[in-house]
Amino acid sequence: MAAEFSEKRHSQRVSLALPINGKRLGKLLHSHSFQGQTQDVSYEGLCIKIDSTNGFKPGQDVAFKTRLYPGDFLLKAQGRVCWINGMPDPDWPVNMGVKITHMHRYRLWVERIENKILEAVVGNTRR
């Protein structure tokens, strides 16, 4: 019997690989920095590919920085970990879903993500 899956996303996602740096927020002794790359992004959140779960759990707050284009200004944001998907093979990365809770220049993020979504839609219709 197949398990039922309920999609919880509220906005469209687009595949986009962006370098990302961040850290878990909370007690100083338990903070952990991470580096990774986005798998996909939306107006409300992103999926980040990281090397290890390193104690990340759903409900934890993180701060992160990324650039939408090389040489572009740095986008700084905070978010909440919604899910962690660790792969059993050590060669596979860990994917972490993060809901954006606060972002400087959020309107610009939305505008640029909208442009990326439109590029993806136009690219798919040409095929």
pLDDT of res. 6: 41
Is a pLDDT exceeding 50 seen at residue 43? yes
CA dist 84 and 67 (Å) reads 23
CA dist 53 and 34 (Å) reads 10
Predicted TM-score (pTM) of the model is 0.79
Please provide residue 51's backbone torsions phi and psi, each rounded to the nearest 5 degrees: -75, -30
Residue with tokens 């959140």: 45
Fold (topology level) of 14-125? Thrombin, subunit H (2.40.10)
Closest CA to 94 of 45, 55, 53, 47: 53
What residue segments make up the domains of the chain, in order of their start? Answer: 14-125
* DSSP conformation class of 92: S
pLDDT of res. 21: 92
Q: What pLDDT digit, counting tens, does each position of 91-108 carry?
A: 667 899 999 999 988 898
Helix or strand or coil: residue 38?
strand
Consecutive H or E run containing 14:
strand 14-15
Spell out the alpha helix ranges (H) of the chain. 106-125
Q: What pLDDT digit, counting tens, does each position of 55-89 carry?
A: 788 999 999 999 887 778 889 999 999 998 866 56
CA dist 95 and 4 (Å) reads 21
CA dist 24 and 80 (Å) reads 9
Q: How confident is the model at residue 5 (pLDDT cuts 50, 70, 90)?
A: very low
